[in-house]
Structure formats: structure tokens, C-alpha cells
Amino acid sequence: MGHFAKVLTVSDGVVAGTRQDKSGEGLRNRLGELGYQVVESRVTKDGIAPVASALLEMSDGFHGLILTTGGTGFSERDLTPEGTSMILERFAPGLSEATRGINPLGRLSRGVSGTRGASLIINLPGSTSGALECLLAIEDVLEHAISLLLDNSSRHPNG
């Protein structure tokens, strides 16, 4: 595969040092297994502005995949989709719909997906199992999606 990836963990607890970043670690490991080179991993606190700011910095001039983990649920501090939506240039709802369909609890995720420049940004749940299950639901199309962002002349898989 050979594409680059970044992981953003959104968690007040991880920032405060009271929780381990298990979902971020799980995503980094799985991305490595899929052949991605994870070039950055960062943590930010919950909230619209912190998420938007981190994603702006991470996507600036970056060509590849950015996965977020955390902040996609219903609690008052779960604002990752709102922060992500502020910086996306184009939405890719099919990716988020696919992640929601893999598990009944996935329907509770408010995550969004889309592009900014040549970055494909996808919100995943904060639980390790949820993040990995949701990634599994879209793994098969990510390489093609990123190739299209990098080279719009990329051939479609079926012709």
C-alpha cells in the first residue's frame, strides 16, 4: 500500500493522563498491518475548537489518511464531528455510513468523514473495539480513496 496515515485521539482523560490511549494504539497497530506508515499521532482534549485546530494542523500539506478516535457519541463533551465538520472541504458520508453498519452500537456514532486537500479524515469511536471494527468496515476502499485524492487519473478498480 505505502500510504501515510496520522491518528488523532480526542480525549480529556488521555490529555489529563488519567486514561491510556488504547484506541489510538490499536489504530496505529492496525494501520501498520495494512501497510500504512503512521507519521504522526497526537492527542487533543474534547471540544469543537481543539479538534478543528488539531485537524487543520495535521492535514495542512498532508497527503494521506487521518483517523480520529473518540468524541463521536452523545455525551456533552463528544464534539469531534462538529470540530471535524468545520474544517472538511467535502463530506464522504458513505464511509461513515459503512462504519455505523458494522455493529448495532455503531448506529450511535455521530462520526463524519470527508476530505480537506489531499487528506481523507474519518471519525471513529473512542472504544478500542469500536474503532477497530469501524476501520475494518472501510479498509477495503481506503487505498483507492487515497489514490484518487493523490492522483485523480487513478483507474477505477473495475475498469
**pLDDT digit string (tens) for 46-64?**
999 999 999 999 999 999 9
pLDDT at residue 159 in the model: 47
Cβ-based neighbour number of residue 151 at 10 Å: 10
Percent of the chain with pLDDT over 90: 87
Q: The C-alpha cell of 12 is what?
A: 480529556
Q: Is the pLDDT of residue 143 over 70?
A: yes
Choose among 83, 64, 16, 76: nearest CA to 43. 16
Angle between helices 80-87 and 48-59 (to 10 degrees): 40
Q: How far apart are CA 88 and CA 77, in angstroms?
A: 20
Q: Is the pLDDT of residue 153 over 70?
A: no
pLDDT at 147 over 50: yes
Looking at residue 152, its pLDDT comes to 57
| C-alpha–C-alpha distance, residues 50 and 43, integer Å | 10
Q: Would you list the domain boundaries of the chain?
A: 4-150
Q: What is the tens place of the pLDDT at every residue in 84-142?
A: 999 999 999 999 999 999 988 888 899 999 999 999 999 999 999 999 999 999 999 99
* Mean pLDDT, the chain, whole residue set: 93
Spelled out in words, what is the top-level CATH class assigned to the domain 4-150? alpha beta
For the segment 61-84, the average pLDDT, to the nearest whole number, is: 97
How large a percentage of the chain has pLDDT more than 70? 94
- Whether 157 has a pLDDT exceeding 80, the answer reads no
